[in-house]
Amino acid sequence: MADINIQRKKSSPSPWLLILLVLLGLAAVGYYVFRADSDQPVTTAPAVPSPEPAPDSTTGAETAPRPTNDPAVADMATEEPGGSPDELAAFAASDASAPNYGRRGLEMLMASLRPLADRDDLRDATVSEKRDDLTSATSRLQEQGTSLRPGYVAAANLIKAMQQKAYPALEADAGELVNRANALSGRTNTAQEQQQVRDFLSRAAEIVRALNQPAQ
């Protein structure tokens, strides 16, 4: 009787094992790829500098004086240069028919009177009151059509008050100046009005020159 050689059939590998091996391989490949990407240096875009702000009212130098409520500073801001008696006399002798002759002359007269009104030996209640009257009378001096007569009268009255304080010898001259101021129309349209303003400014310059001398 012949022998039968019986061999056991080799079992094939489980498909799940193959799937597991494939997944492990993919995981390993993904790990190394991710690690390689993370090791590369990260470059950032350079910061773009912001443009400098253009100068305006809040940056850079200021272009205009700031407003002030200080009366003393306001006087200085509106005070015209050329307020000495000699400059006033020279201006009075100039062409009275020139535009703004009367206004310019009054501004120069005001500039020459303010230091006198603040002088220690001349300053008192009456002089301070007349100084305030002059400031009030000329507060709208720069407006077109404003009459100059109140300013002339107030300036003459201030001169009169300072004369009465310390210059008795100038009583007649100061009184005459007040009368001249009251006779002015405040305009320089005609040759007569121009001559009246010229005479007033000339006489005022002479008295102011005397007031600048030591009190008698």
Q: Is 24 helix (H, G, I), strand (E, B) or coil?
A: helix
Taking the chain (216 residues) in runs of 10, the rounded mean pLDDT of each run is 53 70 78 62 52 42 38 40 84 94 95 95 95 94 88 97 96 97 93 96 97 87
Q: What is the pLDDT of residue 2?
A: 52
pTM for the whole structure: 0.62
pLDDT for 82: 61
Q: Please give the residue range of the domain that contains residue 79.
A: 71-211
Does residue 41 sit within a domain? no
What's residue 144's pLDDT? 81
Does the residue 146 lie in any domain? yes
Residue 85 lies in a domain: yes
109 lies in some domain = yes
Distance, C-alpha 178 to centroid of its chain: 38
Q: Which of 172, 210, 174 is nearest to 88 (CA)?
A: 210
Take residue 128 and report the two structure tokens written for it: 């301070």
Q: For residue 216, tell me if it sits in a domain.
A: no
Give DSSP secondary structure letters for 139-203.
Answer: TTTTSTT--SHHHHHHHHHHHHHHHHHH-GGGHHHHHHHHHHHHH--S---SHHHHHHHHHHHHH
Q: Is residue 114 in a domain? A: yes
Q: HSE on the CB side for 100, CA within 13 Å? A: 7
- Structurally, how many domains does the chain consist of? 1
Residue 21 covered by a domain: no
What does the DSSP 8-state code read for residue 9? Answer: P
